[in-house]
Amino acid sequence: MTTLFSKFLTKADIENVLSIPACTLGPLPFREGHSMNMHAHDGNGQEWIFSCNIQRNESVGHFLSVGWIEFVRERNLQVDDSVTILEEVKKNQATCIKIEVKRKIRLFGKDIWADVI
């Protein structure tokens, strides 16, 4: 699997949209307002369809705005959770997008990262 994007969630990510800087995703159609759907599978194999738009902000430039509030609410995501979007190439050369979310928890005096299910 190849990591496409990873970040620690901010308040804006969990209250509005997940913002992904375009420079981290490689070639995107940098036309502001362009929209698409991203089909992603979580750790349980459930498919999620996230609506995405190319937007521009003066401070960060172009970014991908991912509508994922339903996912955030169902998983009870929190600020500082880690989200990773991965690409998996299957044996038949088909690609599959996976989304992983981890949360830091303290267990027996040590910090560990556990999957958010």
Structural domains of the chain, with CATH = 2-115 (2.40.330.10)
Output b/e per residue, 22-42; b: 16+ Cβ within 10 A: beeeeebeeeeeeeeebebeb
- Predicted pLDDT of residue 90: 74
Note the pLDDT tens digit of each residue in 55-75. Answer: 888 877 778 889 999 999 999
- Predicted pLDDT of residue 32: 66
- Predicted pLDDT of residue 68: 93
Note the pLDDT tens digit of each residue in 74-91. Answer: 999 999 999 999 988 877
CA angle in degrees (0–180, nearest 5) for 54-57-59: 140
